[in-house]
Structure formats: C-alpha cells, structure tokens
Amino acid sequence: MEPRTIRNALVSVFDKNGLEPIVRKLHHLGVTLYSTGGTMDYLEGLGLPVSSLESLTGYPSILDGRVKTLHPKVFGGILARREAGHLEELRQFEIPVFDLVIVDLYPFEETVRQTGDESAIIEKIDIGGVSLIRAAAKNYRDVVIVPCREAYSALATLLDSGDVSSTLPQRKALAIQAFGVTSSYDATIHRWFSQGDSRASFRMEGTPERTLRYGENPHQRGWYYGLLDHTIRQLHGKELSYNNLVDAEAALLLMQEFRDADPTTVVIKHTNACGVATRDELLASWEAALAADPVSAFGGIIAVNRELDIHTARAIDAIFYEVLLAPGYTGEALQLLTAKKNRILLSYPASWTPPPTQFRSMFGGILVQDYDRIRESESDLKTVTRRAPDPRQTRDLLFANICVKHLKSNGIALVRDQQLLGMGCGQTSRVDALRQAIAKARAFGFGLEGAVMASDAFFPFPDCVEIAHDAGITAVIHPGGSVRDQDSIDYCDAKDMAMVITGNRHFRHG
C-alpha cells in the first residue's frame, strides 16, 4: 500500500508536555489542526491556527466536558477507508478526512494514587480519547495514531522525512502500540472497580469457572478458570483443591519428560520430585520411586506413564496419597482404588505436552515466560574432563538432569540406575542442597558409590564436587558457565571423575 499523506490532524490530549514541537512541525508542514476544549486553547495560545470540532459537529462540549468528540462527523473522518464509496459519503456529509490522531488519555492511574475520592476517580475514566485511539488504530491502513506522549518520538521521526507521509509498517507499529495503551488503561480501571473481589482480576468472559475445595490454606477460597477437562479428567475422589492442582501440574510436567520412556513412576511433594524411577515393569518403577523417600511420599502426588494395572494399584493403595495420575486404569485397578472415597484419581492424555507459555500473577499483573522445553540428549553433552562417562553413567546423567529440572532451586539430584536416590531443593546455597540430598539418600539406606549428580546451575567453587566425590559419586552434569568452572574440572580430573556440561541452566525459582 502506498504512503499516506497527512493533511488533517485531530489533537486531543490531557498532558500537553512535549506537544509543542510536534504541533509546530505539523503546522510548518501545512497540516490542518483540529481540536477541542483545553487542547484547542493550548494550540491557540501557541499562536497556531486550529479548527474547532464544535464548529465541525455543530455541537458544543456538553455534560461538563463528558461529551466532546463523540460524533459521526469526527469518527466518520477517522474510520473512512480511502476508497470511492466511503470518500463520497464524507463529501456528502461534509466530513473532513483525518489522517493523524494524537491522543493522551485522562490520567486514571495517577488519580487513583492521589485520591480516594470516587467521584474524582470516575471522572478520570476517559471515554472519547479511548474511542479515538481505537477508531484510528482500527483504520491503521489509512490513519496514523499517536496514542500517548511516549509515541511522540515515533511521530517526530516520521515527520522528519519532510514529505508529511507515513508508510503502512509505520502505521501498523503505532496501531499495535495503541491497542496496548487501551488494553492497559482498561485493565487498570477494571482492577480498581474489582477491589474486594479476589476473582474479578482473573475472570475471563466465556471461560468456565470451577470452585475449588479451598485455596492454598483452608481459610483461603480458590477458583480455577479454564478448560481443565482438556488436560486432566477426574475419575474419583473429593473436590480438587488449589494445592492438588499445583502439585498435579508439577507431576504431569515431570512425567511428560518420560512420555516415551520405559515404565516410569514419579512422586511429587509440594511440587518437588521426591521419587522418580524407570524400570522394565510399572510395579518395579513404583517400588523404586517409593524407596527414594517413603516419608515424603505420604500424602503425595503419584504419576505413572502407563495404564495402571491391578498389581501396581495394590502396591500404591497400601500407602496414603492425595492424587494419582495415569493415562488410563484397568477395570480391576479402578475398582480397587475407588473403594477409598476421598482419594483423587485423575487421567491424562498420554500425548499431553505443556503449553508454550507459563503465567504467574505478580504485583496485580501477570508474568509470562516461555515454558522450559529444552531436554538434553546425549549429543548435547560436552565432556570437559579427561574421563568421559560410560554408557550407564550417561544414561543416569540425563535422567538426573531431568529430575533436577523439576526441583526448586538451588537443586541437586543424585541418581543411580535410573532411580532418584536423594534430592536437595529450595536451598539458599548449592552446598546445602547437596548435603541435603546426600543425607536423604543415606537416611533411606542408599549408598552413593557409583551414583551421578546433577545440578540445576553451575558450580562457582569446587566444594560441591569435593563433597560429591567423598560421598562416592563418580560423574557430574551441570550447565557450566562459571568463571571458575576449571576449578571443578581440575578436581574431577584429579579424582578420576567424569563431568559433562549442557550449556543450559534449568533454574526453577518458584
């Protein structure tokens, strides 16, 4: 689409800071300025010719200024496509074409910060300005929209060309910014109106609402918004709580890493992996996963990557658990497990993969990040010691690397023969996490001779590999990247240990 020449500009701003050089440049380039109210007074005070919207519409500003720009003769000039039919209608009704719209909205957020007077706050909800921005942004193929003072620099760059024209990419970029401005503005208003309603900030039109048994603690209410049945289906048990869902997701996120593996069982407690094992048969994988930490498994979340058979079901049913997830259950297993009315049984699609993005509430807003989809394979491992890991160690290192990815940082995972032997998580130092992992392994009867260690981040000092070697660990996997990586490498070489580096940190902050 060819460039659009700016002939007429509508200017309606609350904050006049930074406006003068823009409007003077427009006047110098022969652009006709239209405005109303305080903005028109400001432009006239600069000695610039300006046409009033009142003279265009035939209506003055009314209702204490609540209605100034909302008129077909204003919005027709903004929304008209530059094609014969629309332009003919504009000529018929004597409506000028607006090629540029400059807006700065009423300062709603600032008003909320400055006063608790509801009437004053309500008056700072901009109606006409938001409508002008949306209209101009909708018609970005023909109209330049400047939705806030922060966009003045983009307009100044555009005008510096001297020919008072805009390209489609320039107009579209400003339109994207414009819809961001209106979206944020409306969200701020929504948050203010929603005070006292803990759900309102997260309620989405048309999204199913599910009341949970309670929130993180029994005195907290909890709700879920979304299509939960598209991921998990509840087959039996009491109503889900907030914590049940948080832990169930943690179990499923870890289990999907073993989607194509041999029979695997994972045990989750407070979102951390406390038992993980892969074996030739599902029952054996359960027994090995439970052995890693039978204490933490009490009241935990269990997930398997195979249809749950009666033999494994009997073994699992011998302990108390909160939630059990499986891609399917045999009829016998389901009959057995449903005998206990409160145990929650969930099924999930065996092909489930995590969504591309993760969300978390923060300071009344939302943090968004890509999901950590990286899963290292043998080809991703860089051996940095003289001794390379043997095939058994390599398999265990990759297994441990998956486990530590699902531990709160600082995290350490100790593995042997595809079984998590001990883990340390949520510690303020990596040394503490390692000592915790060693202590847990020994507490449940595991020697660590020949085991491997995974760390979710690099070692800034050789102390962790020293402690690991003393415990019997023979191979280490970590991201690398410390300025003192060589210290740990040298220690491993001196003790004939193998070390591999992935180059990818799997930090799990919370």
Residues with a catalytic annotation lie at 138, 270
Ranges of H-type helices in 84-222: 84-92, 108-114, 118-123, 128-138, 152-159, 168-193
CB–CB of 337/307 below 8 Å? no
> Starting at the edge strand that comes first in sequence, how are the strands of the sheet with 144-146 ordered?
51-52, 32-35, 8-13, 100-104, 144-146
At 158, the amino acid letter reads L
CB–CB of 234/342 below 8 Å? no
Q: 246-253 contacts: CB < 8 A, separation 24 or more?
A: 246/271, 247/271, 247/300, 247/301, 247/322, 247/323, 248/301, 248/323, 248/325, 248/346, 250/301, 250/406, 251/301, 251/302, 251/303, 251/323, 251/325, 252/303, 252/325, 252/348, 252/352, 253/354, 253/406
Structural element, H or E, at residue 22: helix 20-28
CA dist 499 and 462 (Å) reads 12
Structural element, H or E, at residue 417: none
Buried b (16+ CB within 10 A) or exposed e, 166-180: beeebbeebbebbbe
At 186, the amino acid letter reads D
CB–CB of 16/178 below 8 Å? no
The number of CA neighbours under 13 Å toward the Cβ of 376 is 29
Structural element, H or E, at residue 24: helix 20-28
Who's near 28: CB < 8 A, 6+ residues apart?
none
Helix (H, G, I), strand (E, B) or coil at 320: coil
| Rg of the chain on CA atoms, in Å | 32
Cα 319 to chain centroid, rounded? 36
Structural element, H or E, at residue 314: helix 310-317
What are φ and ψ of residue 211, in 5° steps?
-80, 130
> Starting at the edge strand that comes first in sequence, how are the strands of the sheet with 264-269 ordered?
233-236, 344-347, 321-326, 300-304, 264-269, 272-278
CB–CB of 278/262 below 8 Å? yes
Q: From 274, 301, 299, 305, select the one nearest 289 (Cα to Cα).
A: 274
Instruction: Give me 35's structure tokens.
Output: 């405005």
